[in-house]
Chains A and B, each alone.
Chain A
Amino acid sequence: MKALKRRTGQVLFALAVLALLIYTIFPFYIAILTSLQGGEGSFYLLQDFDFSNYVSVFREQPFFLNILNSALVSFGTVAISLLIAVTASYALARVHFRGRTTLLLTVLGVSMFPQVAVLSGMFELVRLLGLYNNLGSLVLSYTVFSLPFSVWILTTFMRGIPKDLEEAAIVDGATPWQIITRIFMPVLWPALVTTGLLAFIGAWNEFMFAITFILSNEQRTVPVAISMISGGSQYEMPWGPIMAASVIVTVPLILLVLVFQRKIVEGLTAGAVKG
């Protein structure tokens, strides 16, 4: 009786896991499936390996250039926002000044605004700086949006670093910049990877700013380029090439996450830094 009970439990658990797996993986399965099917095939089962969609993605538009643009914008965003976030969080976590908490709360408050709310203002800013139809406009706006989160996370981590560590470095004769680069950044490595990766994903997948600030095909980033893929007629949605393109741009992300997986977990779970 007891064994039966345990058995039923195991079966139910397995079913629940299965349901969850199907639920999460099914959209990706369909995407990959669709991208590999040339003509009209079964919607649910893979019948042939046909890479024509992949070829067409690169033939029909400057997709390689779009990927390059996306990479440029994303890496640029990560580099700039990490640099600013690290220095800002050092000040916010370590330097005592009036209005520190207010500033930190303002930073958090700013990140509450939806993208649409700042779109027109951001557009004016971009025009003013002469960055319209330039990748710089995207780096600027993505940095603005990734900074609050990065600053907030890094400040929390920076606070977790023992004060003694910093003072030991001061006694050793290190300048604030040396303390940040030689002591704090190596110690904060997991947190940096986590925030950097999140900023990267945000920039890589962003759509609204990208379609607003960029005009020409050659300057477009991947999400916009995918949305521009058109079929034979107005009424035809070219699912095959769209899915192929989506799979192509998701691969780098998955690779990045796999490479840094352990660091991300450490970064998300480890609160303080132990000596």
Chain B
Amino acid sequence: MSSIEFVKLEKVYKGLSDFCAVKGVDLQINEGEFVVFVGPSGCGKSTLLRMIAGLEDISGGELYFGDRCVNDLSPKERGIGMVFQSYALYPHMSVFDNMAFGLTLEKGSRETIKEKVEEVARILQIDHLLDRKPKALSGGQRQRVAIGRAIVRQPNVFLFDEPLSNLDASLRVQMRIEITKLHQRLKTTSIYVTHDQVEAMTMADKIVVLNQGRIMQVGSPLQIYNEPANTFVAGFMGSPTMNFIDVEAMDEQLSLRTGQANRRFLMPFRHSGPATLGIRPEHIELQPQADAIPVETRISVVEHLGNETLLYLATDLCEQPLVVAVSGEMAPEIGSELTIYLPLERSHLFDAQGDAVKRQGSASVN
């Protein structure tokens, strides 16, 4: 087990025009932590993981495991275990041989290998499958074998590269819980790459949100949800995504750009100039509230999800429809008028660069 530290880590792909996939990433991962890298495709999260694994050369900066710089070490010397998206099981070997492959290369004795593999197989409940070939296994079982192969060498660091994306929805939930349990049991430093924000929120001790090769925010799942550092994080985490409304801020007051442009609202932020107000669909109210902006809307689309209903509302505040999550029992009519209330207390303010403005005190409607 070890902590990991990234110092200005960079990855440049040389070519006709150099492509910078990872741009100066600084990050500290503590021993035993479960860290999730999340971001849209092409954000550099997989590249970053592969650089930690040693499968991708580091173009600049330094990578430390504990206090040891591992830039030039091979994956084996770094002591990592990796689970691939496609499982990457050796198709011609039995489950036992798949898991034992790394140990046989280290030339361990037959008995210790057998003992270790069988113990890990028991933990993962695949001990009855040891003689099977990968093609005779189901997706979930293959995934377990892939995890087993990574665990059995007792690595310092576990790396997961979107391991659940090939599984069906219910199995994904089940494996998610099992990986979390496994981590609680083994307490090995783990890095998990996913584009699925539910996996990120549920599994992580620490979430690292990446975009275009840069870290957007690092924090606990609730920090990321409650205090997004910028519009990117705010828009990426949370489903359905946060609503953004262009506003004009003057010190502690806020005015909408259209419609009720003459009305001023006191806001819990101190900022001047053009800004973006962000509010999550689940925080918008249908009942009049103190400290809330009333908005006249018309219902354009209704999505019934059972437990909740999503309303897409056309307004003159922004071109995108505002999304509101309401209780599942509600059955509103498309085209009807609806007044909603945006509670400023639960909203976020971002400056013109998209960075979050720090919240302060409480607010009241002017």
Interface residues of A (CB under 8 A from B): 162, 164-165, 167-174, 178, 182-183, 186-187, 189, 273-275
CA distance A165 to B92 in the complex (A): 12
Shortest beta-carbon distance, B77 to chain A, in Å? 9
Counting CB contacts under 8 A, is B90 at the interface?
yes
| Nearest-neighbor residue (CB-CB) of B152 within chain A | A172
Q: Which of A165, A169, A275 has the most CB of B within 10 A?
A: A275
- CB of B92 within 8 A of CB of A186, answer yes
Q: Which residue of A is nearest B161, CB measured?
A: A164
Residue of B with least CB distance to A188: B92
B88 touches A172 (CB 8 A): no
- A173–B86 CB distance below 8 A: no
User: Chain A residues with Cβ under 8 A from B153's Cβ?
Assistant: 172
- Whether A275 pairs with B88 at a CB distance below 8 angstroms is yes
Contact B149 A167 (CB under 8 A): no
Distance in Å from the Cβ of A155 to the closest Cβ of chain B?
20
A170 touching B134 by the CB < 8 A rule?
no
Proximity bits, B76-96, A CB within 8 Å = 1, else 0: 100011101111111111000
The verdict on B115 contacting chain A, using a C-beta distance below 8 Å, is no
Q: How far is the CA of A14 from the CA of B291 in the complex (A)?
A: 89
Chain B positions within 8 Å of A171 at CB level:
53, 55, 75-76, 80-82, 102, 150
30 A-B pairs whose Cβ atoms sit less than 8 Å apart in the complex: A162-B88, A164-B85, A164-B87, A164-B88, A165-B90, A167-B55, A167-B82, A167-B84, A168-B88, A168-B89, A170-B76, A171-B81, A171-B102, A171-B150, A172-B76, A172-B101, A172-B102, A172-B153, A173-B74, A173-B75, A173-B105, A174-B105, A186-B92, A187-B90, A187-B92, A189-B92, A273-B91, A275-B88, A275-B91, A275-B142
Closest-CB distance, A220 to chain B (whole angstroms): 41
Q: How large is the interface on B (under 10, 10 to 19, 20 to 34, 35 or more residues)?
A: 20 to 34
Bound-complex Cα distance A172 to B102 (A): 4
Given A168-B88, A182-B101, A274-B135, output 16 extra A-B contacts at Cβ < 8 Å: A162-B86, A162-B88, A165-B88, A167-B84, A167-B88, A168-B84, A168-B149, A169-B101, A171-B75, A171-B76, A171-B81, A171-B150, A173-B76, A173-B105, A274-B91, A275-B142
Instruction: Judge if B106 is at the interface, Cβ distance under 8 Å.
Output: yes
Q: How many A-B contacts are there with CB distance less than 8 Å? A: 68
* Cβ–Cβ < 8 Å partners of B149 in chain A: 168, 172
* A168 and B91 within 8 A (CB): no
Interface residues of B in 42-90 (CB under 8 A from A): 53, 55, 74-76, 80-82, 84-90
Interface residues of B in 112-136 (CB under 8 A from A): 134-135
B49 nearest CB across to chain A (Å):
12
- Which has the most chain B C-beta neighbours within 10 Å: A164, A168, A170, A274? A168
Q: Which residue of B lies closest to A175 (CB)?
A: B105
Q: In the complex the two chains form, what is the Cα distance from A162 to B90 in whole Å?
A: 11
Residue among A167, A169, A189 with max Cβ neighbours from chain B (10 Å): A167
Q: How far, in angstroms, from A164 to B74 measured CA to CA in the complex?
A: 16
Chain A residues with Cβ below 8 Å from B92 are: 186-187, 189
Give the complex CA separation of A248 and B93 in angstroms: 39
Among B80, B86, B135, the residue within 8 A (CB) of A164 is B86
CB-based closest 9 A-B pairs: A173-B76, A164-B88, A172-B102, A168-B88, A186-B92, A164-B84, A171-B75, A171-B82, A164-B86
Complex Cα distance A82/B102, Å?
Answer: 27
- B90 / chain A contacts, CB cutoff of 8 Å: 165, 168-169, 183, 187
Chain A residues within 8 Å of B101, by CB: 169, 172, 174, 182
A173 to B53: give the CA distance in the assembly, Å: 12
Query: Which residues, 272 to 326 on B, are CB-close (under 8 Å) to A?
Result: none
Q: How far is the CB of B191 from chain A (nearest CB, A)?
A: 14
Residues of B within 8 A of A168 (CB): 82, 84, 88-90, 149
With a cutoff of 8 Å between Cβ atoms, the chain B residues found around residue A274 in the complex are 91, 135
Q: Which residues of A contact B88 (CB under 8 A)?
A: 162, 164-165, 167-168, 275
* Among B76, B88, B150, B153, residue most surrounded by chain A Cβ atoms (within 10 Å): B88
- Interfacial residues of chain B within 14-58, with CB under 8 A of chain A in the complex: 53, 55
Which B residues touch A189, using CB under 8 A? 92
Q: Among residues 334 to 363 in chain B, which have CB atoms less than 8 Å away from a CB atom of chain A?
A: none
- Alpha-carbon distance A164/B51, docked complex (angstroms): 15
Residue pair B106, A173 in contact (C-beta under 8 Å): yes
Which listed residue (A164, A172, A187, A273) contacts B105, Cβ 8 A?
Answer: A172
A168 to B153, CA, bound (A): 13
In the complex, the chain A residue whose C-beta lies closest to that of B105 is A173
The minimal Cβ–Cβ distance linking B157 to chain A, given in whole angstroms, is 11
Nearest chain B residue, comparing its CB with the CB of A161: B91
**Complex Cα–Cα for A165 and B75 (A):** 15
> Which residues from chain B contact A186 at a C-beta distance below 8 Å?
92-93
Instruction: Report Cα–Cα, A169/B105, bound state, in Å.
Output: 10
CB of B256 to closest CB in A, whole Å: 51
Interface centre among A162, A172, A173 (most CB of B within 10 A): A172
Please report the C-alpha to C-alpha distance between residue A168 and residue B163 in the assembled complex, in whole angstroms: 13
Question: Would A173 and B84 count as touching, CB distance under 8 A?
Answer: no
Cα A173 to Cα B80 with chains together (Å)? 10
CB neighbours (8 Å) of A178 from chain B are 105
* Distance A275 CA – B133 CA, assembled complex (angstroms): 10
Chain A hits for B81, CB < 8 A: 171
